[in-house]
Structures are given as structure tokens and as C-alpha cells.
Structure 1
């Protein structure tokens, strides 16, 4: 139950409250994800939709390191993506490092 080898990895967690149609938000988010997918240090993201609250989403994005994350955000090409998401939602975000992880045993 350790995070061996993950100490430098960064997890970005972003909670969104959507003020547009969920479909429009998901489309714009997919485009933003495609931008991040081309950035050095980006590993993966998962966009989660709340089971009961249809306008509530959480993004969990994994990056190899903090510098890669900040470099991606500082690129001029990111600004239109950020603006598009802000037009459709409000968000609260934080950065984390993994301290423990556990996966079910393979059978």
C-alpha cells in the first residue's frame, strides 16, 4: 500500500460545477484533454460525472512532475481552452502527490 516510484508524480484534482449543458461541457473538456495529451509530462486524465448531481464533475489528471504541469498551463495555446471551460463552469482545483495506493490482487 505504498506509492513507490510516485513521489515526483503530481495528481491534479479539479471539481467543476457546470452551468451549461453537460454535453457541451464534455465536448469542450475533451478538446482540452486533447491539448494536454500532447504536452510533455502528461500521463492521463479521468473525467468523472457525479451519479446524482448532473452538473457536477471531477477531473483527476496525472502528470510526471510539477514542472511539466506548470509548463503546460503557461503555454499560450492553453488560454483558449481555459477560457472555454470558465465560460461553461466554475471550478475548484488542487495539486496532490500520491502517498498510498492499493490495487486488487490479480487472479
Structure 2
């Protein structure tokens, strides 16, 4: 499993960004290898968001990004925000008992 973390600094209307993200989320959810994601909003700086997405593997993630349909999603999100996307390998997870 790999984890994709993308920090967004929203410069456009928040509602428009959230709607664009929801549409993009539905696109990714339909791709092979997608497991789950969460969109988080900063408590004290509501223009900052973080997307945390889990994928089966890096190849599945890269294939989803390379699909021609993704270009429109990317363009819409970039028009509303700047971002800092990165891939991570999970190392430790602890759950409350």
C-alpha cells in the first residue's frame, strides 16, 4: 500500500474547491487500486486542506493520474488552489483498543 498526501492552499471560493474535489474524488474512487481517502480542513486556517488517499500500489496511482479524463480534474483544482502532492509508504499505525 502507498499513501498519497496532498496539501492544498485554496485561493478560490471554498465551496467551489470542495465541489471540485468531490467530483475528483468520485473519479479516483472508480479507478483500480483506489482504497480510500479523506479530505481534511485546517481548524484555524480554513483555506488549508489535506487529502490523504490510500492506494494498493504506486503503479495503480500513476495509471489513474495518466488517464486522459484526469486532466480536466487537475485543471479545475489548480484554478482554485495550489498544492504540494507527495507519495508515502506507511510505516506504523496504532489503533486505540
Q: Once the two structures are superposed, what CA deviation does each residue of 1:53-76 show, in whole Å capped at 9, x if it has no partner?
A: 010000000000000000000000
Q: Are 1:24 and 2:16 counterparts?
A: yes
TM-score (norm 2): 0.99
Distance 1:93 1:75 in 2: 18
SS at 1:76's partner residue? coil
Distance 1:28 1:65 in 2: 25
User: In the alignment, which residue of structure 2 is the partner of 1:96?
Assistant: 88
Q: CA RMSD in A?
A: 0.4
Q: Once the two structures are superposed, what CA deviation does each residue of 1:14-69 show, in whole Å capped at 9, x if it has no partner?
A: 00000111111000000000000000000011000000101000000000000000
SS at 2:96's partner residue? coil
1:38-57 matches, within 5 Å, as 38-57=30-49
TM-score (norm 1): 0.89
* The structure with more radius of gyration: 1
Distance 2:46 2:93 in 1: 29
